[in-house]
Structure formats: C-alpha cells, structure tokens
Amino acid sequence: MLELKNVCFGVEADGNEKEIIRNVSFDIPDNEFVVITGPNGGGKSTVAKLIAGIEKPTSGKIIFNGEDITERSVTERAKKGIAYAFQNPVKFKGLCVFDLLKIAAGKEIKISDACDYLSAVGLCARDYINREINSSLSGGELKRIEIATVLARACFLSVFDEPEAGIDLWSFQNLIEAFRTMREKIENSSILIISHQERILEIADEIIVIKDGEIEKKGKRDDVLPSLIGTPEVLGTCRNNVPLKGEPAVC
C-alpha cells in the first residue's frame, strides 16, 4: 500500500517559496487502479514525481508497504517496487527491445518471456524483439514497449504520467487494453495513472481530482466520474477525448 500523509511541495521563486502541492493525503491499497485527474497546472504530475522520488516533499510523509520512503532516492524506491513511466518515453540509441526487457526484469529472460510481454501490449514480438529503441518507433509503439518493461518488472506500484500523450486514437485503444492486461498479469500490484482521458477514468477503481495543488475530491469511480463529465478544464472537449496524431484537436 502507498500512503501520502499531508504532503506539501514548494519551489524557490523570486526569493520566495511558491507552494505547488498543499497537504495532499490519500492512499492506494493493493490491487487498486487509481487515476489522478484535474485541470492543467494543478499539480498532478508533481504528485507522480513525488511518489517516484524525482522530487522530494517540503513536508509530509510518503509511506510504502509500511516503510517511510520520504527521503529515499528514485533508485531505492525502484528497488522496493515502484515503477515510473514518463509522459515521453526515453529512447535508447543502440539498445534493442529485448535488451531493455532484460534490464527491466533485472534478470536473464528467455526470448519466449519477452514475446509474452510484447504480446500482452499488442505488439508482434517477431517485428519488435530486435528493434532499436530510437526515433524509428512511433509514440504509440514506445508507450507500449514501456508498458511491456513495467510488466517485466512486475512492480508493486506502477505510476504512469499521462500515458496517452502524443499517441493516435488506434494506439490509445490498445493502451487501454494494455492496462487491463497489467491488472490480470501482475498479482497484488496497483496502478496509478495521471490522465485527463475519460476512457482511462472509466476503468479506474478510484479517482482523485487535484486542483490548485490540493485534492478537490476523491472516491470511487461511480461516485466521482459523473461530476466530471462535461467539465472541459478536467476532461477536455476533444473528439473522443483523444486528439488524433497529425491532426489538429477538434475542440
């Protein structure tokens, strides 16, 4: 279980501290799918970075599986079972997909294992296993490969910061299925996603709305989602909530 207790975060600006996150408290039980949503600039991604250890709280505590990890580094948190996926997946020139999956797993794996991870996210292993992770891959391909690495790691908590960013509608539909697969294949694990997308919110167990650095509301999906429908500053008004790659958003 992950617990945030009165977490605050501020940065120095013009000689003064600017508060970005104020007294944020929530928990993510085991086997839960939680989505954090809210207006742009509200602090959603900052919360994800605080959980991953990329940023450190100004005050408050972060507890993971009963241990205070507030001062732990990114590496230490990763070893304890927290995975973090960036909005824009990192490219690794000279590194192929199979090698990346082995690194993610932290052990030697068979080609058949790698094929299972790639198949789970809708990729044909034969076409991707030896592909270099570079600019020849589309945004959707990179996202799914990144999710495959999370499957290989089998972490207790997987954090995704706006995984739908920059991908087309077809890839987005496959992304939803990949998250469903994660829930089935990784036992006793939880997923936390930062997202505006209604279809991701629809498969969540719980939804947390963060606005102006504070929690505005939180609760079960069926209690929170109806109040967000038709709220442009939270969900947006783009076609199907997903701008098509290469097209202007129809808003």
SS3 content of the chain, % helix, strand, coil (to 5): 35, 30, 35
Residue 121 domain-assigned (yes or no): yes
In what order do the strands lie in the sheet containing 59-64? 16-28, 2-13, 59-64, 67-68
> Are 97 and 133 within 8 A, CB to CB?
yes
CB 230: neighbour CB atoms within 10 A? 9
* 2 — pLDDT class (breaks 50, 70, 90): very high
Q: What is the pLDDT of residue 106?
A: 86
* 166 — pLDDT class (breaks 50, 70, 90): low
Residue 133 domain-assigned (yes or no): yes
> Are 177 and 102 within 8 A, CB to CB?
no
Residue 224 domain-assigned (yes or no): yes
* Residue 232, SS3 per DSSP: helix
**pLDDT tens-digit profile of 170-206?**
677 777 887 887 777 777 789 999 998 888 999 999 9
Residue 151 domain-assigned (yes or no): yes
Q: Cα 42 to the chain's mean position, in Å? A: 17
Q: What is the pTM of this model?
A: 0.83
Residue 167 domain-assigned (yes or no): yes
In terms of residue numbers, what domain contains 29? 2-241
Gap between the Cα atoms of 214 and 217, Å rounded:
9
Residue 250 domain-assigned (yes or no): no
Residue 237 domain-assigned (yes or no): yes
- What is the residue-wise DSSP string for 154-192? T-SEEEEESTTTT--HHHHHHHHHHHHHHHHHSTT-EEE
Residue 115 domain-assigned (yes or no): yes
What average pLDDT does range 33-48 have in this prediction?
A: 94
Q: Cα 37 to the chain's mean position, in Å? A: 12
**Domain count of the fold of the chain:** 1
Return mean pLDDT, the chain.
85
- Please tell me the least confidently modeled range out of 5-14, 54-63, 83-92, 109-118: 83-92
CATH number assigned to the domain comprising residue 38: 3.40.50.300
In 3D space, the residue among 222, 191, 183, 236 whose CA is nearest the CA of residue 48 turns out to be 191
